[in-house]
Chain A
Amino acid sequence: MRRVSLHDVAAAALLLALALLPLYTQLTGNFFLLTLFTRIVILALAAVSLNLILGYGGMMSFGHAAYLGIGGYAVGMLAYEHVYSGFVQWPVALAASALFALVIGALSLRTRGVYFIMITLAFAQMAYYLIAGLARYGGDDGLTIQKRSQFFAPIDLSDKTQFYYICLLLLYGAIYLVWRLVNSRFGMVIQGARSNDIRMRAIGFPTYRYKLACFVIAGTLCGLSGALLANQADFVSPAMLYWTRSGDLIIMVVLGGMASPVGALFGAVALLVLEEALSGITEYWQIILGPLLLLVVLFARGGIDGLLRTLGGKVRAKAGT
């Protein structure tokens, strides 16, 4: 049997803590914390989906927030047209994100490296302008959602605790899905293409198709996160898919540790809690966050996940095993 490492303990503790959080808020009545963590859980879902292509696939997409916006606007626009059923809204959100990912991916994956970064960024910005130009749906000002997605009787997204658990369940489901995916044959091909695309093609894998499929899966998952985010905020605006949001998602993935199933979750929690804490200290909190990011890039390359693994390794080395 595999030894339980510090990393696994920390991951399990975080997963458990998130599951027990509503209990704490019920006892203390601190509902701000629940709202904050609902947002964190939703954005963690987006980060997990980005980790699939960025961490495992080596595809440096700088346009991942586009799917947040597309998923969110699918919900927002349908609600505006008085279609409230979640059974319509959510599949539309997923399908729209998948379609966008398919088109963008098919074009962007023709390129590599820095071109890929810039192209995904430009396409996401294109989606931003498109949505900001929709005068019927609020344009730049965004769109208020009157009613959250409706499902059958006991499920009520307006109930804070219930909504939190739905988001959490979807997040854990996504983490499991990504974990299963990257350990499958499909995932091995994706990871092989990250290390050496030419060699993978030489041994007969059509890596372009594999990567495109992976890109579409990640986009669809992020679209789900967008649909949740729209429900959480009761509001959608073009800011959801502004390019800095894509940057935030990349930060979460890298800060948490790339190519680790729970890394993106670590990163999302760390970044958003840090933002919350810093903005409590000073109005100019980004002047601290910016250089902090730079330091992480320069000196802590494995992110939190890597740090936990190294620390765990050191403890074990001291114990003499």
Chain B
Amino acid sequence: MTLFIEQCLNGLQFGLLLFLLAAGLTLVFGIMDLVNLAHGSLYMIGAYFAATFADWTGSFLLGAVLALGATLLVGMAVEVVVMRRLYGRDHLDHVLGTFGLILFFNEAVRLIWGAEGLSLPLPSWLNTAVRILPGFDYSAYKFSIIVVTLAVAAFLYVLVMRTRVGMLIRAGASNREMVGALGVNIKLLYTLVFGLGAALAGLAGLMQAPILTVQIGMGENILILAFVITVIGGIGSVRGALIAAIFVGVVDTLGRAYLPELLRLVLSTNAAATAGPALSSMLIYLLMAVVLVVKPEGMFSAGGK
């Protein structure tokens, strides 16, 4: 039973991490109508920055803060140099242009940091277990990821729904020209939104860094998961992204943990051992297919926004 709770928490933690990526993706798409494949590159860069800065400063937290700022700056620079020219273009142009960016970033990282991965060691105060229920211990670091991402989700909600900047963002999403005509610097606003998305991706990357190795291409597989989440949640909907992300995270983690055993009840041990891993990595895609059959526009489509 404790193992099951732990797996559920792992799923929640993974889902919330995916939410950080999906939120940036869906914000940028919802507001700028831009498909950004290079979002995963920003995740990767966040992780590389964190590993480097933590090594320089000797402090995990300081490194993380610096990495967050640096990723924000990289994101804003990318927006000013490249993305700005892609608004209003065909989605195919977005796909191709940002695909070019992925090639560029992967190779730039290889040039700067080398082909071998980096590692970001956890400080001792995070590398312990906390007792969150009587008789149930959980990794302090994973628990702190859950807390941080939930705080970020709350911050996003307040930012978009309760502040003046958020009001402008929502207004810009529904009518760009009108907001511009009312004297708002829409270009700056877009740069900020893109930078925010980049910082969210960077945050996800740097938090994932101690769990996995920091390596080239780390952002690509997780980006596709973030796509699946935006499709399930409905593009442009941050709320949908949150719910879908948790759902996908839990289903994926539990599927990997329990599906092979469940299959063993139906199939022979040998067949289950072969089909289990393959089927569990396909699970969320099958889930997405089901969602599409039922609701082609996603579960929480922004619809009329």
Contact = CB atoms under 8 A, between A and B. Distances in A.
Interface of A: 54, 60, 62, 107-108, 110-111, 113-115, 117-119, 121-123, 125-126, 129-130, 132-136, 243-244, 247, 250-251, 254, 284-287, 289-294, 296-298, 301
A168 B52 CA distance: 50
Interface stretch (B8-16, B53-61, B116-124, B277-285): B277-285
Contacts of B29: 114
A20 B220 CA distance: 41
10 contacts: A110-B296, A121-B227, A126-B285, A136-B274, A243-B220, A247-B99, A287-B108, A290-B100, A293-B97, A301-B93
A122 B285 contact: yes
B96 A251 contact: yes
Given A60-B95, A298-B97, A286 B278 contact: no
B174 interface: no
B278 A134 contact: yes
A268 to B, nearest CB: 15
A305 B231 CA distance: 34
A129 B292 contact: no
Given A119-B288, A122-B224, A133-B281, A297 B93 contact: yes
Given A133-B278, A290-B103, A114 B235 contact: yes
B101 A294 contact: yes
B89 to A, nearest CB: 8
B224 A287 contact: no
A129 B281 contact: yes
Nearest to B35: A114
A225 to B, nearest CB: 21
A292 B96 CA distance: 11
A122 B108 contact: no
A284 B115 CA distance: 11
B104 A119 contact: no
Contact of B96 (A113, A134, A250, A286): A250
A115 B107 contact: no
A292 B100 contact: yes
Nearest to A255: B96
Closest 3 A/B residue pairs (Cβ) = A133-B278, A290-B104, A293-B100
A57 to B, nearest CB: 12
B97 A286 contact: no
A293 B230 contact: no
Interface string B272-305: 0010011001100110110011001110000000
B35 A117 contact: yes
A107 B274 contact: no
B292 A118 contact: no
A254 B93 CA distance: 9
Contacts of A254: 92, 96
B111 interface: yes
Contacts of B21: none
A294 B95 contact: no
Contact of A118 (B108, B231, B289, B296): B231
